[in-house]
Amino acid sequence: MNEHLPVTRTKSATEARTSTSVVADSELVITLGPGTWDVHIWLAFAGTATANSGIVGRWGLSSGLSLSGFRMVQGPAAGSSGATSISMRSSVNSATTSIEYGAGTGFGAIEEWAVVVVPSSGTVTYEWGKAAAGANAQVGVGSYVHAHRIA
């Protein structure tokens, strides 16, 4: 295996969740070997056309993995509920900080990225659930987690 080839996992089908529990996505998980990795997560997601109907997401890092700096996030701010009321959030956070993104009935997009230090090997997983209100939340087909080794 060439350790410098990128690693990518793509969501094969849209998944809906009706629970506010933030749990691992079985498809959005990558295994990384030793080194320093630039990790990027892109999600297509949707909720309902009510405030706080989006998703809450965070990263799960296996034992020993750490971020070099912070996890950067960009997407619709909590409380955004439609095409005419979108406020964007752009912030820095720890890997495990839960971030809420607002949503309308159509799919929006979220981007998150960070540099991950891997001493031996381990996994990075995207974990998510629905926000406190709204009928459900969805993460769409084609969403992905991608990493390439930088050192």
pLDDT number for residue 2: 58
The position carrying tokens 């390439």 is 148
134 C-beta neighbours (distance < 10 Å), count:
21
> Biggest alpha carbon distance in the chain?
48
pLDDT number for residue 79: 73
Task: Going from the first residue of the chain to its last (151 residues), give the mean pLDDT of each consecutive group of 10, the final group possibly shorter.
Answer: 81 92 96 96 81 83 94 83 67 88 79 95 95 78 96 91
Sequence-distant (6+) residues with CB within 8 A of 55 are: 43, 45, 47, 100, 101, 103, 110, 128, 129, 130, 131, 137, 139
* Reported pTM: 0.89
pLDDT number for residue 88: 73
pLDDT number for residue 50: 60
What stretch of H or E contains 127? strand 122-130
pLDDT number for residue 145: 98
pLDDT digits (tens, 9 = 90+) for 116-142: 999 999 999 999 998 876 667 889 999
pLDDT number for residue 49: 59
Contact, 68 vs 115, CB < 8 A?
yes
